[in-house]
């Protein structure tokens, strides 16, 4: 979603602001802007569209200004337009804002003497700060605090005043902000990736904190004026991890790097000799693990699908534990009772998803132990859970989540195995899963290498359809859900997933020439039943693609992608790789913006 950058130092601020905004492009946005202060006054430039449009407007305006803030906006209040783009300028105040000010209408009505140019909630916040600033009568940070005390909603903000051009005031509540500490320069970003190449030293601001930064200092306080001693942390990501590495798109790079990213998830956690998995992060003792009777898995989108797939496995080897998988945006408002001896798994790639974070906070209020399954190190969810397992897949830049899904599933399965081990489930039951997990990176590599060209050819045939039905049963059903999500978000083909057994209860009515059906058919106990379901679709003129590991597959379907693998239980994870490649190549064939699909953002930090 929206991105924030800021710079104060000795170098050309515009260079960092523009390059920083480019790094944040992957989060999704529809307009951008920067403001810098210098000898020649204020330079405020905004543009609808991409950073390239902003750069074109900035050409010729390079003034060597050494302080400034910038923003990419993902429209919430008001259409994507130049006037709605940030920075907002009101009186002496320039402001960029991520988040949503819920009570902006009341505040707007109460603010007299201001003419608002935009439809945004953010401009109201700028005016509110200006009203407390009173033309520089009070320190900027004080005015910001006064304003924030009246705000309901979420924010990450960076504020400047031309009356004090050597400082930037930043604050956060629910929207991340990182302060990069350099030599004679201080940088600000809503995502640490924008800081790479400039500094590796970062201060992650907490909710309810406000910081005044100059080129040589960072002073942090709470909104109640209590001083906070800043903890400087090392940014773990490196520049190579956020580059395309020769691939045409980040999405393809991220699909293809899954053997390695999964190895990182498994590193030091699987002991094949002992037939054990060891997860230190959740911080639960053997006694606590033994007591667990119920798991709640919370996530959105792909993270939810990963939780659903993991839940099928966890139920297979921890018979005394019930597993409930919930959509965060729904769960946060339900009056759900969480039984005693529960643990909640909070699943999020970004660690910043607003709905998931809200659930985490609600669940904690009930005294339930929370465990994060998170990728982004130092993210808000990672910091607020009681314990957690990082999936360690490295930065995921493409909006469509792929490598995170695979590792989230495996990390949750490992957590389930940890519970089962503590409960004394026979090793004969657990070892087959552990062995499969250990060989999964190699099997993933084999499938990706063998299928990539084949899937590309298949995808070309289906690019012109408007609708798709994804089908699977048992563990292949959540995999089908994930496949359908991938197709719809990057190819804009309306794709929905159904459990095979549900076909006759409604979806079968859909089958006609406008639809194709993608069936995930893992070999196993329910294979023959799923084959019968495919036959029912074929009998009604369906255009069926099957993805299977069954060697003797002879149904008269339109297209088949066969994978060869020695993995059994975890096959749906491999079938999903084919669905990822399929969605990718369909979107490429359609000439779409694969990495930044329309209307979407990578990290959904607003409700």
Q: Which is nearer to ligand M6R, 419 or 583 (CB)?
A: 583
Tell me phi and psi for residue 298, to 5 degrees: -120, 130
**Under rule CB under 6 A, residue 356 binds ligand M6R:** yes
- Interatomic CA distance for residues 325 and 310, integer angstroms: 9
Question: Which of residues 36 and 603 has its CB atom nearest to ligand M6R in the complex?
Answer: 603
Residue among 436, 489, 517, 595 that touches ligand M6R (CB under 6 A): 489
CB of 373 to ligand M6R, least distance (A): 9
Piece in contact with ligand M6R (CB under 6 A), picked from 104-112, 264-272, 345-353, 544-552: 345-353
Helix, strand, coil percent content, the chain, rounded in steps of 5: 40, 25, 40
- The minimum distance between CB 297 and ligand M6R, in angstroms, equals 12
The catalytic residue among 2, 300, 359, 451 is: 2
Distance in angstroms (rounded) separating the CA atoms of residues 437 and 162: 57
Q: Which residue's CB comes closest to ligand M6R?
A: 301
Count of chain residues binding ligand M6R (CB under 6 A): 16
User: Residue 605, interface with ligand M6R (CB under 6 A)?
Assistant: no
CB 506 within 8 A of CB 494: no
Distance of CA 592 to the CA centre of its chain: 21
Phi, psi of 336 (to 5 degrees): -75, 135
d(CA 232, CA 222): 17
Residue with smaller CB distance to ligand M6R, 65 or 489: 489
**Smallest distance, Å, CB 305 to ligand M6R?**
8
Q: Residue 600: count other Cβ atoms within 10 Å of its Cβ.
A: 16
Asked if 348 touches ligand M6R (CB under 6 A), the answer is: yes
Residue 350 contacts ligand M6R per CB under 6 A: yes
Is-catalytic flag, 602?
yes
Cα gap 20→4, rounded to integer Å: 9
Structure token pair of residue 165: 């051009």
Judged by CB, which is closer to ligand M6R: 140, or 604? 604
User: Smallest distance, Å, CB 490 to ligand M6R?
Assistant: 8
Nearer to ligand M6R, 33 or 388 (CB): 388
CB of 299 to ligand M6R, least distance (A): 6
Residue entry with tokens 């400087």: 232
Residue 261 touching ligand M6R (CB under 6 A): no
CB contact burial 176-190 (16+ within 10 A = b; e otherwise): bbbbbbbeebbbbbb
Least spacing, CB of residue 267 vs ligand M6R, in Å: 21
Options 14, 36, 342, 603; binder of ligand M6R; rule CB under 6 A: 603
Give the shortest CB-552-to-ligand M6R separation in angstroms.
Answer: 34
What DSSP designation does 605 have?
A: -
Q: Does 421 bind ligand M6R (CB under 6 A)?
A: no
Tell which positions 282-311 bind ligand M6R, by CB under 6 A: 300-303
Q: Toward ligand M6R, which CB reaches closer, 159 or 262? A: 262
How far is the C-alpha of 537 from the C-alpha of 408, rounded, in Å? 32
Compare residues 348 and 421 and give the one whose CB is closer to ligand M6R.
Answer: 348
Are the beta carbons of 179 and 186 closer than 8 angstroms? Answer: yes
569 within 8 A of 436, measured Cβ to Cβ: yes
Sheet holding 494-499, edge to edge: 494-499, 467-472, 515-521, 544-548, 559-562
The site string for ligand M6R over 448-487 (x = CB under 6 A, - otherwise) reads: -------------------------------------x--
- Tokens 């069926």 locate to 544
Any alpha helices (H) in 463-545, and if so which ranges? 476-491, 527-539
Q: What residues are labeled active site?
A: 2, 602
Q: Which residues bind ligand M6R (CB under 6 A)?
A: 300-303, 348-350, 353, 356, 399-401, 485, 489, 603-604
């Amino acid at each position: 979603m929206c991105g924030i950058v800021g710079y104060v130092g000795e170098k050309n601020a515009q260079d960092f602001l523009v390059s920083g905004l480019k790094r944040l492009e992957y989060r999704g946005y529809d307009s951008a802007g920067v403001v810098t202060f210098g000898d020649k006054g204020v330079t405020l430039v905004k543009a609808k569209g991409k950073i390239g449009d902003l750069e074109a407007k900035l050409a010729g305006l390079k003034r060597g200004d050494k302080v400034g803030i910038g923003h990419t906006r993902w429209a919430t209040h008001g259409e994507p337009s130049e006037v709605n783009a940030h920075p907002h300028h009101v009186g002496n105040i320039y402001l960029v804002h991520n988040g949503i000010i819920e009570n902006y209408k009341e505040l707007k009505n109460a603010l007299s003497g201001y003419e608002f140019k935009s439809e945004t909630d953010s401009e109201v916040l700028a005016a509110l700060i200006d009203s407390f600033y009173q033309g520089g009568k009070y320190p900027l940070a004080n005015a910001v605090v006064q304003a924030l005390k009246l705000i309901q909603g979420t924010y990450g903000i960076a504020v400047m005043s031309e009356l004090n051009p050597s400082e930037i005031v930043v604050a956060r509540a629910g929207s991340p902000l990182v302060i990069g500490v350099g030599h004679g320069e201080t940088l600000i970003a809503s995502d640490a990736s924008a800081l790479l190449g400039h500094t590796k030293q970062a201060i992650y601001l907490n909710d309810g904190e406000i910081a005044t930064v100059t080129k040589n200092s960072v002073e942090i306080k709470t909104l109640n004026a209590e001083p906070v001693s800043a903890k400087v942390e090392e940014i773990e990501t490196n520049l190579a991890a956020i580059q395309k590495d020769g691939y045409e798109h980040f999405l393809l790079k991220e699909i293809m790097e899954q053997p390695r990213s999964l190895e990182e998830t498994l590193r030091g956690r699987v002991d094949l000799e002992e037939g054990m998995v060891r997860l230190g992060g959740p911080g639960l003792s053997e006694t606590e693990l033994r007591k667990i009777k119920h798991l709640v898995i919370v996530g959105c989108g792909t993270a939810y699908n990963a939780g659903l797939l993991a839940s099928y496995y966890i139920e297979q080897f921890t018979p005394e534990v019930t597993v409930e998988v919930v959509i965060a945006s729904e769960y946060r408002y339900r009056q759900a009772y969480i039984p005693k001896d529960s643990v909640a798994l909070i699943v999020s790639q970004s660690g910043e998803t607003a709905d998931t974070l809200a659930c985490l906070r609600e669940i904690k209020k009930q005294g339930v132990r929370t465990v994060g399954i998170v990728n982004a190190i130092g993210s808000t969810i990672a910091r607020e859970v009681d314990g957690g397992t990082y999936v360690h897949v490295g930065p995921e830049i493409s909006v469509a989540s792929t490598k995170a899904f695979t590792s989230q599933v495996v990390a949750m399965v490992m957590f389930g195995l940890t519970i089962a081990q503590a409960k004394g489930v026979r090793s004969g039951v657990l070892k087959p899963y552990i062995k499969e997990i250990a060989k999964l990176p190699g099997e993933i590599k084999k499938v990706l290498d063998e299928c990539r060209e084949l899937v590309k050819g298949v995808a070309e045939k289906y690019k012109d359809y408007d609708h798709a039905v994804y089908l699977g049963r048992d563990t292949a059903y959540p995999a089908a859900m994930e496949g359908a999500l991938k197709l719809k978000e990057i190819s804009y083909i309306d794709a929905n997933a159904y459990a095979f057994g549900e076909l006759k209860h409604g979806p079968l009515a859909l089958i006609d020439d406008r639809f194709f059906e993608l069936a995930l058919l893992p070999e196993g106990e329910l294979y023959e039943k799923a084959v019968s379901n495919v036959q029912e679709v074929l009998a009604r003129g369906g255009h069926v693609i099957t993805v299977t590991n069954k060697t003797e597959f002879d149904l008269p379907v339109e297209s088949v992608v066969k994978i060869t693998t020695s993995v059994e239980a975890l096959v749906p994870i491999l079938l999903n790789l084919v669905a990822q490649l399929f969605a990718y190549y369909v979107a490429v064939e359609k000439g779409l913006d694969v990495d930044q699909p329309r209307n979407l953002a990578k990290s959904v930090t607003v409700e």
